[in-house]
């Protein structure tokens, strides 16, 4: 009978420890916890530390708060110009609202599966409205922004925050690559021919304009030179006339000297003149004086 109080105390301590063990749990920094009562979510704990729940009637599940990377196999997408592309995309996300996430999908694996489906649907939807050139180079960043925006809207309904979405590769299926490559070569050649034709046409316009301007410049220069030549001839004639009026004999002598200089130039021509020719009168006069 002496051991009865001790045994009762030990039993009470054991029961207390058992209840404590079943009511306390620890939440780590990288986790959130959802408290369930008969499987129905009651509360969530997003801060780390020691937490408590009602023993026996409540239990808890942990939700990983770290970033998750969703990798998947390449999917085939039919783009706007009816070409087929094999697109390799991946997404990174985190569970921002653990309670909503658990209420929506129940488990992290189910969440991955749901996100994988939504990524595929969103990629097909956005890229299906674009061409191959836009996906490969032209508007790739805009398309990625659009995918992330749409995916973020649907993911928030699951308590998920989208961190990033990327397209690592976008390739043509092997059976279509050669045909598309040949078509692209043809299109580029046609574009090059068009550009060359436009360049030749522009060159001809520029050449014609330059020739027209050059002709106008030469015409104006010729006209101006003729005016100047006419003015010079008029001035020269005026000078000659004035000189002739002052001393006709000297003027005649000067003109004869110019004629002698022109006629007596060295060359193959021969001039036959009589000694008493009027053309030689000044030379004869010089001879007579001698």
Q: pLDDT tens across 119-142, in order?
A: 999 988 988 888 877 777 767 788
Q: For residue 149, give the H/E element and its range.
A: helix 140-156
Do 131 and 89 share a structural domain? yes
Lowest mean pLDDT among 63-67, 73-77, 279-283: 279-283
Do 148 and 86 share a structural domain? yes
Q: Is the CB of residue 87 less than 8 Å from the CB of residue 75?
A: yes
Which domain range does residue 256 map to?
A: 248-289
User: How high is the pLDDT of residue 289?
Assistant: 47
Do 165 and 128 share a structural domain? yes
Do 73 and 152 share a structural domain? yes
Do 94 and 117 share a structural domain? yes
β strands within 31-83, DSSP E: 31-37, 40-45, 49-52, 58-64, 68-70, 75-78
Do 87 and 140 share a structural domain? yes
Nearest alpha carbon to residue 98 among 107, 90, 89: 107
Do 156 and 72 share a structural domain? yes
Q: Is the CB of residue 104 less than 8 Å from the CB of residue 159?
A: yes
Higher confidence at residue 112 or residue 243? 112
Boundary of a domain, candidates 148, 172, 196? 172
Do 119 and 143 share a structural domain? yes
Q: What is the pLDDT of residues 208-260, one digit of tens each?
A: 888 888 888 988 888 888 888 888 878 877 777 776 667 677 677 777 767 76
Do 36 and 106 share a structural domain? no
Confidence of residue 272 (pLDDT cuts 50, 70, 90): low
d(CA 194, CA 191): 5
Place of tokens 């030179």: 225
d(CA 227, CA 229): 5
d(CA 238, CA 126): 92
Do 117 and 41 share a structural domain? no
Long-range contacts of 109-112 (CB under 8 A, 24+ apart): 111/158, 111/160, 112/68, 112/70
213 occurs within a structural domain: no
Do 91 and 151 share a structural domain? yes
180 occurs within a structural domain: no
Instruction: Using CA atoms of 124, 127, 130, 136 in order, give the dihedral in degrees to the nearest 10.
Output: -140
215 occurs within a structural domain: no
User: How high is the pLDDT of residue 276?
Assistant: 62
194 occurs within a structural domain: no
Lowest mean pLDDT among 70-79, 142-151, 222-231, 264-273: 264-273
- pTM of whole model > 0.75? no
Total count of domains within the chain: 3
Q: What is the mean pLDDT of the chain?
A: 80
Domain with 81 in it: what CATH number?
3.30.479.30
User: How high is the pLDDT of residue 231?
Assistant: 86
Residues 176-196 have a mean pLDDT of 79
């Amino acid at each position: 009978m002496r051991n009865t109080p001790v045994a009762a105390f030990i039993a009470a301590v054991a029961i207390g420890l058992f209840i404590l063990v079943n009511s306390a749990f620890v939440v780590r920094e990288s986790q959130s916890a959802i408290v369930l009562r008969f499987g129905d979510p009651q509360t969530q704990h997003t801060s780390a530390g020691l937490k408590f729940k009602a023993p026996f009637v409540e239990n808890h599940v942990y939700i990983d708060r770290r970033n998750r990377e969703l990798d998947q196999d390449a999917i085939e997408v039919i783009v706007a110009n009816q070409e087929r592309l094999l697109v390799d995309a991946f997404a990174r996300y985190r569970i921002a609202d653990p309670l909503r996430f658990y209420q929506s999908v129940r488990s992290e694996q189910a969440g991955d599966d749901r996100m994988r489906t939504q990524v595929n649907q969103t990629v097909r939807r956005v890229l299906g409205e674009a061409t191959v050139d836009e996906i490969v180079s032209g508007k790739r960043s805009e398309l990625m922004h659009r995918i992330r925006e749409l995916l973020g809207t649907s993911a928030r309904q699951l308590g998920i925050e989208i961190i990033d979405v990327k397209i690592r590769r976008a390739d043509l299926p092997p059976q279509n690559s050669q045909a598309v490559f040949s078509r692209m070569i043809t299109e580029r050649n046609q574009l090059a021919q068009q550009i060359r034709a436009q360049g030749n046409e522009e060159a001809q316009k520029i050449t014609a304009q330059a020739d027209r301007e050059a002709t106008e410049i030469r015409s104006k220069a010729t006209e101006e030179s003729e005016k100047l030549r006419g003015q010079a001839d008029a001035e020269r004639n005026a000078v000659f006339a004035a000189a002739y009026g002052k001393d006709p004999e000297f003027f005649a002598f000067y003109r004869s000297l110019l004629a002698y200089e022109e006629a007596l130039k060295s060359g193959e021509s021969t001039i036959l003149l009589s000694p008493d020719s009027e053309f030689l009168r000044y030379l004869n006069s010089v001879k007579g004086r001698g």
